[in-house]
């Protein structure tokens, strides 16, 4: 007799007894994964913000001239 049916019987019993803990672990892993993926997507989008802004506003064409301060007499 192989040990596989015994193993499946034991796993089924453990899953029946501990399903709340298994559900909690699954939810924690899901929330952690979603947080990491959201942070990664935000970082990638934030890295290209200046490039996208300059492409839309053509900010490189503007120049700023500094004026000398006026003298008060």
The DSSP result for 7-41, as a single string, is HHHHHHHHHHHSHHHHHHHHHHHHHHHHHHHHHHH
pLDDT digits (tens, 9 = 90+) for 2-12: 678 888 998 89
Whole-angstrom CA distances from 46 to 4, 10, 34, 55 are: 51, 49, 18, 15
Question: Confidence band (pLDDT; 50, 70, 90) for 62?
Answer: low
Question: What totals of helices (H) and strands (E) does the chain contain, helices first?
Answer: 3, 0
């Amino acid at each position: 007799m192989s040990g596989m049916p015994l193993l499946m019987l034991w796993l089924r019993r453990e899953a029946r007894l501990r399903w709340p803990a298994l559900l909690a672990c699954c939810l924690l892993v899901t929330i952690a994964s979603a947080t990491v993926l959201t942070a990664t997507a935000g970082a990638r989008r934030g890295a290209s913000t200046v490039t996208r802004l300059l492409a839309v506003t053509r900010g490189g064409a503007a120049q700023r001239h500094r004026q000398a301060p006026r003298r008060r007499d």
